[in-house]
Structure 1
Amino acid sequence: MSQPDRYIDAERRVIRQLDATESNRIAAGEVVERPASAVKELLENALDAGSSRITIAVADGGKTLIRVTDDGHGIPQSELSLALSRHATSKLDGDDLVNIRSFGFRGEALPSIGAVARLRLSSRVAGDEAWEVAVNGGVLSTPTPCSLRGGTVVEVRDLFYATPARLKFLRTDRAELQAISEVVKRLSLSAPSVAITLRDVSGGGEGRVIYSAERGDPAARMEAVLGRDFRANAIEINAERQGITMTGFAALPTYSRGAAVAQFLFVNGRPVRDKVLTGALRGAYADFLSRDRHPAVCLFLTCPPEEVDVNVHPAKTEVRFREPALARGLIVSGLRHALAEAGHRASTTVADATLGAMQPRTAPNAPIYQMDRPSLGARSAAYQLQSPRGFAEESVGWTGARVEPAVVDDSPGIPEQDAPSYPLGVARAQLHENYIVAQTPDGMILVDAHAAHERLVYERLKGQAAARSVPTQALLIPDIVDLAADDVARLTDAFEALAQVGLELEPFGAGAIAIQSVPAALGQVDGKALLTDICDELADQGTTTRIADRLDAILSRIACHGSVRTGRRMQAEEMNALLREMEATPHSGQCNHGRPTYVELKMKDIERLFGRS
């Protein structure tokens, strides 16, 4: 016998109408989830009021105090009490719920906050006196005169004191303050013409400044929020499609993050967290990032207000497009086009990470090696060794281990004076049968040949697949591969798509597939490994994914099998040809998984490694 659910009361009760206080407290659960939600609503109201300067003060992570001060147009005394009643707003006339051109419009924020906290609203309209009104736990007071120079001040104390159970679900003061800071930064990006300051006044007085942004250039504010590294490694985006425009910046794939914390998306100036947009963002970077990495972007989508519905959720963080495919296509095509124009460029943080990995110990008590403080005799011997014949004379009896010389490239056919014309320089050596060392006019390049060639083969296959002209190599004897029934079914469904990329398959009995031809660029391949990887990719993508969306993933697998393998010694001409093709191929700065294909070190960086700076 099943046990009854002890949390469900099956007793018949009388249906009654909730009073205003109860309904406001219930509504507050959707609008005001935490202190950051209250800050968001109050800051949006201040922006809608036409403010040029807004100051936010919080104490104890917003739990005991939230004060938002603005210099906007204010609220007249006759409307103060109405502003604290539910569903009262100045931003809609009641006839048009589509043409919304403001942050707030539902008329729920102030009454919801007042239902669960102690709220005081002070305001002054130009040319009039200042008035204030208070609401404690949903109980509204009568407006009284107050002292205020202009604008509006909203002070919220003891958030959730009327619903103490909600306090148990809040996090630490530090975590709540961090969430507030995140909200303020996102909204500040959408209003670069407004100066915004966030202060923590937990200890009393003026407190400390957490975030401050003066009125100015949008790019400068974006740099202040996302950091200088983002701005230095981001590509400017400017795209348009059928009335929807997309502007902003998107970071190079090699400047990715471990979580989606650096994704700032705005629709008509409103910061949103929309599944359609974030899914399109991942689709745009699908060729460049592995599944555990996330792109960094700051994108602004602008469209006619009637083309997007912002009234999806009381928090107004979700939107619904009238034509979602149009918005998604704009993001995917716009970002891919911009990334293609970046060519072989990789982020500057790759070199910084390389230098950081090779930094010597700099602690105060770090040992000073003898080579760092040579004796007079050692310096004298060193001077002698620097003479033309010194080393040959002193090397007699040298007991150091013999080192096999690397494959040195004197670059025949490439005049030394022409080397500066190559962005990736001229190949000089190959290390460990994989890494190419190239010399540039002002530094050096270290290339991962396998990763670079994988990207080049992938881009070539994509171009051939788009033109439906992939050269194929028919197998004299078909390669029979035994597979599980599910894998055979997946491959059978993808026969036509695989044929477009030069991989022709046929069923061979109940649990086998015959490989009839392969892309000619692959040469000799391991059929079993190739089909197994493709089956894994098809299974991972899910049954609802279109074949067209799976092609690039399949091509990536094929390219990995057809690229230069680690352990192969390359000739000078091959290395230089690889470098030249990288310069001419989009996205060659990162492999198919988002890792960099090369590291560039400037002379000043190299000299710093050896203590010459």
Structure 2
Amino acid sequence: MPIIRRLPEALINRIAAGEVVERPASALKELIENAIDAGATRISIRIEEGGLALLEVTDDGCGMGPEEMALALERHATSKLPDEAIEQVATLGFRGEALPSIASVARLTLESRVRGVEQGWKRVVDHGALVEEGPAALPPGTRVRVEQLFGKVPARRKFLRSARSEYAACLDIVRRLAMARPDVGFTLEHGGRRILGLQGGEGLEARVAQIVDRALADNGVTIGLERGTMRLSGLAGLPTFNRGVADHQYLFVNGRPVKDRLLIGAVRGAYSGMLAHDRHAVLALFLELDPEDLDVNVHPAKTEVRFRDAPSVRGFIVSGLRDALSTGDKRSAQAPDASAMARWQVEPSAPEPEPRLSSIFTGRDWSSPGSSVRQPSSPWNTHVAEIFDAPQGRAEVAEPLPEETENFPLGIARGQVAQTYIVAEATDGLVIVDQHAAHERLVLERLRAARGTGEGASQALLMPEVVELDEPACDRLEDKAGDFAELGLSIERFGPGAMLVRAVPAILAKADPAALLQDLADDLAQHGESLLLGERIEHVLATMACHGSVRAGRTLSVPEMNALLREMERTPRSGQCNHGRPTWVKLSMGDVEKLFGRH
């Protein structure tokens, strides 16, 4: 029988390091969080070789005395929990394992000076062993150097990625923590090169746009919503301002950067019907709620959280995002695609064509003196007919813009191009509208409005339909039958392995009840909550809107074009179609003048 024994302190620290310090970015995260919790207003970060050779974090926080520095290098010693109420923690870190764990797998130099004290102190720990201690000269605050990470643990070091990959992970950590604290200044150097230089005291929106994408400020909406003890703030990009990957979604809970599946799913749900499946929103969301409603002690790295009332949090985020987008997303992406604009070029001057004498003197036999000139093969009247038979444009008479145009952001229709695009003149530029994409959005919003008012919410089937499913699926559907009934879906149990559908939502009248119930049963099995009937309805609504909208290739009259423009100005989310593509773009008068060299 194996003997139970106590592990040596050095091995305990290395085991803890395996949980806390996975890579250089993990160690950097802990050091920056310590600096923030120390009340720093400026944090300077230096990295060499992606953090494999050096990580250095310097702050101007409260600092530590020699005795506190010794305690900080012991396991489970922390200043961030004044009592045993761990659920009330308000700091970023609180486990008290970061410094001793890092020191057990690297050479760590800790220097600190308390404000008002003439001299600082230094402690150097090399892979768990104290090798140097004494006075140090530095300004008030703390400086931590981590060198030779995993230098004596080759089994761990060989699993690290390249210096470039590790640097990318470190940069992501710095960006996220800097975004969470716009009141703190951050500088980042890598290999002697300045990467970031952020001044403290910026507003939240300015800091987010500076880090994520400067164009986000012009292509996003500000979030600000409160419900009970929950508060949601941040900056969300318009659906037309999207990316092919989800790397530009930054989520924070009580100031802590997290990567939580519930929050990611809530963002996806809020943008459903506005983005294509392979596109992702660009945003930074900051959720604040009572610490008692949140468990941040789920993972050693504190990147995951658990909510006491997860459905309420999800609903709050979805509704908050949708409300914000409904007020600001009549806009499309602010500028036309750069590559498309580059194609607007002045036609290069072509060389003068050679005279086509053969068309005039065709048939003349110059070797024969009696030969005469033959008539051209194409008579003049044929040329004239070709000119007048050429396709004719159709546009409104170019009358002066009426005074009320100032109230029409999308301008007055002037014509139609390729039976697909409406060309309109606004007071500040030229607007081009995709008629199918625009009308598709308008139809979808009408269907949503009808659903919201309950008009024709449910439609009874002429003959109730029996849907056969396995018994566990029927059990799940039966448990949620009351919730489904509120949305117009009336179902009841019909034996061990079947459900009876008596009525469906009116807007799903043409949907297949069997497919609908199968999808709902699968969703309940996967998620455990009936959150997806509404999303299923949204998907069907989007499909109906696409088939019920004005198609490309249809000729519209000028009054029809103007009616479409006016409804777009009144309708939320009209800046993008149901697939996330822009419904209109605008060329400012300055852009038009540049095309003709008049600027």
Q: TM-score, normalised by structure 1?
A: 0.80
Say which SS state the counterpart of residue 209 (structure 1) adopts: strand
Partner of 1:352: 336
Taking structure 1 as reference, are residues 40 and 212 closer, same or farther at Cα in structure 2, changes over 3 Å only? same
Q: Which amino acid aligns with 1:139?
A: A
CA displacement 1:373-423 (0-9 Å, x = unmatched)? 999xxxxxxxxxxxxxxxxxxxx97977954224423499x9744334311
CA displacement 1:53-90 (0-9 Å, x = unmatched)? 21111111100111111121111111222111111111
Pair 1:404-2:391 in alignment: yes
Q: Which amino acid aligns with 1:297?
A: L
Pair 1:190-2:173 in alignment: no
Partner of 2:273: 287
Say which SS state the counterpart of residue 536 (structure 2) adopts: helix
Say which SS state the counterpart of residue 587 (structure 1) adopts: coil
Taking structure 1 as reference, are residues 295 and 46 closer, same or farther at Cα in structure 2, changes over 3 Å only? same
Shift of 1:306: 2.1
Partner of 1:553: 539
Taking structure 1 as reference, are residues 517 and 327 closer, same or farther at Cα in structure 2, changes over 3 Å only? closer
Instruction: Supply the distance in 2 between the matched residues of 1:343 and 1:152 (Cα, whole angstroms).
Output: 46
**Does the CA-based 8 Å contact 1:77-1:143 persist in structure 2?**
no
Instruction: Supply the distance in 2 between the matched residues of 1:149 and 1:592 (Cα, whole angstroms).
Output: 56
Say which SS state the counterpart of residue 352 (structure 1) adopts: coil
Larger Rg: 2
**Does the CA-based 8 Å contact 1:89-1:105 persist in structure 2?**
yes
Instruction: Supply the distance in 1 between the matched residues of 2:460 and 2:97 (Cα, whole angstroms).
Output: 68
Alignment partner of 2:194 out of 201, 205, 209: 209
Q: Percent of counterpart pairs with the same letter?
A: 45
Partner of 1:222: 208
Alignment partner of 2:76 out of 56, 64, 87: 87
Q: Which amino acid aligns with 1:112?
A: S
**Does the CA-based 8 Å contact 2:444-2:542 persist in structure 1?**
yes
Partner of 1:163: 153
Q: Which amino acid aligns with 1:53?
A: R
Taking structure 1 as reference, are residues 108 and 576 closer, same or farther at Cα in structure 2, changes over 3 Å only? same
Partner of 1:246: 232
Partner of 1:144: 134
Partner of 2:348: 369
Instruction: Supply the distance in 2 between the matched residues of 1:220 and 1:402 (Cα, whole angstroms).
Output: 58
Unaligned 5+ segments in structure 2 are 354-382, 492-499
Partner of 2:95: 106
CA displacement 1:462-489 (0-9 Å, x = unmatched)? 11112121499999xx99x9x9978xx9
Taking structure 1 as reference, are residues 502 and 50 closer, same or farther at Cα in structure 2, changes over 3 Å only? closer
Instruction: Supply the distance in 1 between the matched residues of 2:505 and 2:535 (Cα, whole angstroms).
Output: 21
Q: Which amino acid aligns with 1:292?
A: D
CA RMSD, Structure 1 to Structure 2 (Å): 3.9
Shift of 1:434: 2.2
Partner of 1:591: 577
Shift of 1:25: 1.2
Pair 1:124-2:113 in alignment: yes
Taking structure 1 as reference, are residues 62 and 213 closer, same or farther at Cα in structure 2, changes over 3 Å only? same
Q: Which amino acid aligns with 1:405?
A: Q
Shift of 1:158: 0.5
Shift of 1:550: 2.2
Unaligned 5+ segments in structure 1 are 1-11, 202-206, 376-395, 506-512
Q: Which amino acid aligns with 1:64?
A: A
Say which SS state the counterpart of residue 465 (structure 1) adopts: helix
Taking structure 1 as reference, are residues 611 and 127 closer, same or farther at Cα in structure 2, changes over 3 Å only? same
Instruction: Supply the distance in 1 between the matched residues of 2:567 and 2:490 (Cα, whole angstroms).
Output: 28
Shift of 1:240: 0.3
Instruction: Supply the distance in 2 between the matched residues of 1:35 and 1:293 (Cα, whole angstroms).
Output: 31
Partner of 1:298: 284
**Does the CA-based 8 Å contact 1:52-1:72 persist in structure 2?**
yes
Pair 1:340-2:351 in alignment: no
**Does the CA-based 8 Å contact 2:344-2:595 persist in structure 1?**
no
Say which SS state the counterpart of residue 342 (structure 2) adopts: coil
Taking structure 1 as reference, are residues 411 and 307 closer, same or farther at Cα in structure 2, changes over 3 Å only? farther
Shift of 1:16: 2.8
CA displacement 1:156-181 (0-9 Å, x = unmatched)? 10101122122222222122112111
Instruction: Supply the distance in 2 between the matched residues of 1:40 and 1:558 (Cα, whole angstroms).
Output: 48
Taking structure 1 as reference, are residues 551 and 361 closer, same or farther at Cα in structure 2, changes over 3 Å only? closer
Shift of 1:548: 3.0
CA displacement 1:265-285 (0-9 Å, x = unmatched)? 222211111122111111111
Taking structure 1 as reference, are residues 593 and 361 closer, same or farther at Cα in structure 2, changes over 3 Å only? closer
Q: TM-score, normalised by structure 2?
A: 0.82
Say which SS state the counterpart of residue 261 (structure 1) adopts: helix
Partner of 2:170: 180
Say which SS state the counterpart of residue 438 (structure 1) adopts: strand
